[in-house]
Structure 1
Amino acid sequence: MARSELRLPLRGERPPLVEIARRVALAVLIVLVSALLVYFDRDDYRDSSGTPITFLSAIYYATVSLSTTGYGDIVPVTPQARLLTILVITPLRFAFLILLVGTTISALSERSRMQYRVARWRAKVRNHTIICGFGTKGRAAARTLIADGVDPSRIVAIDPTPEGVASAQALGITAVQANAEHSETLHQVELDRARAVLITVHDDNSAVMITLTVRQQSKTVFIAASVREEENVALLKQSGARSVITSQEAAGRLVGLAARKPTIAAVAEDLISYGTGLDLRQRPINEDEIGRGVRDVAEVVIAVVRGSREESIPANAAGELRRGDQLLYVQFPDMRPG
């Protein structure tokens, strides 16, 4: 498998092809300006073949003059034409050469800069989240992480399509255009130092393969996956996923709920739409909350996360809070920081 390039977020630079096209357009413009000047003054130029100076001849003269080739078959013969060559054509020649040399140097230096940025990223990246599949679900997952305060530099996207990679870069996310089922791809995004892997591909079979590959390379990384069919949930968990979301089932439940109890469906949708309205939050308990009940804390607690497996216990069954517990609570809009 060919190694795919790690693509860091764009920092306001023009894409390489756009920059090359811009420079080519400038070079063509310089040639055309030179050719027009020669053509309008064509009576002061002589062709060694004795034929009149046509516009094609003027373009030919401008091209060989600007490129310093200078065959000498077309030459200025009057003082006016020679003065034009000295004062106009020669500066345009310098501009043309600087443009060509500058394009080459820029291309070489841009690659060196990108290699340096990638090396720095590899050296610094720790506890990042890898999103496998950057379609609708992957973009939603990334936006939720960012809304929850995760720095985009701590998110890496893997997607086989150029559109997915471009979407990730637009959000400030590092991306790789590759298949996440391959172990080489996961090694490239520093899986061994990742905090979590989110699998949001469209195909359930691919989700299983990615889960197996991730778990083979890392026994401890947290894996959350989205599947289309409920029957594949057990298979994903057996493959190593800690959390499995059934996208079609979840959407169907919300739609069914909206038909009978639209207000409840709207609140449920609000809770899972992070960053607006009501939000679900999780935090560790404070020292002074140990031994107290969930009703004694300021927030509206709905569950307590307890134990090394992070299993949630309904708030009314949690009893006294213990050291290491975490609270799942509803954050209202007026509780947001700032």
Structure 2
Amino acid sequence: MNLPRKVVDRPIRQVGKRLAMALLVLAATAFIVWIDRDGYNDNAGDGVDLLDSFYYATVTLSTTGYGDITPVSDGARLTNIFVITPLRVLFLIILVGTTLEVLTERTREEWRLNRWRAALRDHTVVVGFGTKGRSAIQTVCATGLKKEQVVVVDPSSRVVDAATAEGYAGVVGDATRSDVLLRAEVQRARQIIIATQRDDTAVLVTLTARQLNRGAKIVAAVREEENAPLLRQSGADAVITSASAAGRLLGLSVLSPSAGMVMEDLIQQGSGLDMVERPVIKAEVGKGVRETGDLVVSVVRGHRVLGYDDPAIGTLQLTDRLITIVRASPATKATPDTRPLPRD
């Protein structure tokens, strides 16, 4: 499980800094001993040279203390008490501090993960962070969903790292496995978006997700239209066929470039025209679809989606929801502009 975090130094860089500090303390200690080398005695009978100074500094700072080189003069002993001993303590703090920081970081991560799991409810799980998954997340977040409420599942650690860098939580693993989806808390998710690269993978993920969460809304994307019924039988509430949708858009652009531009504008969230769903307000109850201030294309009544010209609509009810086309404001992409479009 990867959670978004503030940018800090990489572990290798942190270890490198501490190693440099330790070497600096070692070199300083050896230099101090070498300056006062006449105050030290070597049991081998030779004088204390620069190599002996580094040797003495190493065994002293590491508290090994073989005793073959010892301070004998009063000055050398005072230097050991007031200078080398504090350096030894600093050296140990650097080494022990690295270990303590690693343990503290692990504890902190475990605490963050447990707190995140306890607070996570009614979130959105996105399986696959490719072009489709990324666009789906941007669309739902543009309507008010917080990034903290999105969990990305992908088998690539690099892809999950990219997702966490953008502020989403991430799980590395095969989403066809129930243990991976459980790490994403899919059993408590409100909606699940499946945007895998392969249709057979999408089917298996849908089956697993539906088994773990009976009430979540599952939306899946497939490449081939012939696989869409299989996705619905597996438990998907809605299936988007990417290949046929792209083909229809291509054909529409050939027949009518202007109509193709309008459809592409509707697909792109946050610019030009947007399609949004909103509840019926009290002032609209009892009125016809064309009497509202918005450009209504469909009415959602219960589990049915009725076209704007369907006679079954009659007048609007307070429990209805309207699917409208609005003018998006580039300055406020997170909150779609619901002002009505100009009408003839």
* TM-score in terms of structure 1 length: 0.85
Report matched runs for 1:108-123 at 5 Å.
108-123=103-118
Alpha-carbon distance, 1:188 to partner: 2.5
Please give the per-residue CA displacement for 1:210-240, whole angstroms capped at 9, x wherever unaligned.
0011112222211111122222112111111
- Equivalent position of 1:307 in the other structure: 302
CA contact (8 A) 2:188 2:213 kept: no
The separation in 1 between residues aligned to 2:248 and 2:32, in whole angstroms, is 73
Q: Given the alignment of the two structures, is residue 147 of structure 1 paired with residue 142 of structure 2, yes or no? A: yes
SS of corresponding position for 1:150? coil
Describe the shift of the 1:150–1:52 C-alpha distance in structure 2 as closer, same or farther (beyond 3 A).
Answer: farther
Please give the per-residue CA displacement for 1:250-271, whole angstroms capped at 9, x wherever unaligned.
3344445445544433333332
Equivalent of residue 162 in structure 1, options 132, 157, 160 = 157
Q: Which runs of 4+ in 1 moved over 6 A?
A: none
Code of the residue aligned with 1:313 in structure 2: it is: L
The separation in 2 between residues aligned to 1:55 and 1:227, in whole angstroms, is 72
**Which deviates more from structure 2 when the two are superposed, residues 241-250 or residues 40-49?**
40-49
Q: Say which one has the larger Rg.
A: 2
Describe the shift of the 1:84–1:260 C-alpha distance in structure 2 as closer, same or farther (beyond 3 A).
Answer: farther
Describe the shift of the 1:251–1:27 C-alpha distance in structure 2 as closer, same or farther (beyond 3 A).
Answer: farther
Report matched runs for 1:68-83 at 5 Å.
68-76=63-71
The separation in 1 between residues aligned to 2:212 and 2:224, in whole angstroms, is 26
**Which deviates more from structure 2 when the two are superposed, residues 236-245 or residues 106-115?**
106-115
Q: Given the alignment of the two structures, is residue 64 of structure 1 paired with residue 59 of structure 2, yes or no? A: yes
Describe the shift of the 1:136–1:63 C-alpha distance in structure 2 as closer, same or farther (beyond 3 A).
Answer: farther
- Equivalent position of 1:316 in the other structure: 309
Alpha-carbon distance, 1:198 to partner: 0.7
Equivalent of residue 292 in structure 1, options 264, 287, 291 = 287
Code of the residue aligned with 1:23 in structure 2: it is: R
Report matched runs for 1:225-304 at 5 Å.
225-258=220-253, 261-304=256-299
The separation in 2 between residues aligned to 1:247 and 1:28, in whole angstroms, is 59
Describe the shift of the 1:168–1:97 C-alpha distance in structure 2 as closer, same or farther (beyond 3 A).
Answer: same
Q: Given the alignment of the two structures, is residue 132 of structure 1 paired with residue 133 of structure 2, yes or no? A: no
CA contact (8 A) 1:39 1:53 kept: yes
SS of corresponding position for 2:309? helix
Report matched runs for 1:199-214 at 5 Å.
199-214=194-209
**Which deviates more from structure 2 when the two are superposed, residues 12-21 or residues 146-155?**
12-21
Describe the shift of the 1:210–1:17 C-alpha distance in structure 2 as closer, same or farther (beyond 3 A).
Answer: farther
**Which deviates more from structure 2 when the two are superposed, residues 43-52 or residues 91-100?**
43-52
CA contact (8 A) 2:121 2:189 kept: yes
Please give the per-residue CA displacement for 1:136-174, whole angstroms capped at 9, x wherever unaligned.
322222222222211111111111221122122112222
> Aligned-residue CA RMSD in angstroms?
2.9
- Equivalent position of 1:181 in the other structure: 176
Describe the shift of the 1:333–1:214 C-alpha distance in structure 2 as closer, same or farther (beyond 3 A).
Answer: closer
Alpha-carbon distance, 1:189 to partner: 2.3
SS of corresponding position for 1:288? helix
The separation in 1 between residues aligned to 2:255 and 2:33, in whole angstroms, is 80
Report matched runs for 1:7-46 at 5 Å.
7-38=2-33
SS of corresponding position for 1:316? coil
Describe the shift of the 1:257–1:43 C-alpha distance in structure 2 as closer, same or farther (beyond 3 A).
Answer: farther
The separation in 1 between residues aligned to 2:238 and 2:204, in whole angstroms, is 16
Alpha-carbon distance, 1:323 to partner: 3.5
Describe the shift of the 1:100–1:239 C-alpha distance in structure 2 as closer, same or farther (beyond 3 A).
Answer: same
Describe the shift of the 1:23–1:138 C-alpha distance in structure 2 as closer, same or farther (beyond 3 A).
Answer: farther
Alpha-carbon distance, 1:292 to partner: 1.2
- Equivalent position of 2:341 in the other structure: none
The separation in 2 between residues aligned to 1:243 and 1:93, in whole angstroms, is 67
- Equivalent position of 2:342 in the other structure: none
- Equivalent position of 1:326 in the other structure: 321
CA contact (8 A) 1:148 1:275 kept: no
CA contact (8 A) 1:147 1:274 kept: yes
SS of corresponding position for 2:59? helix
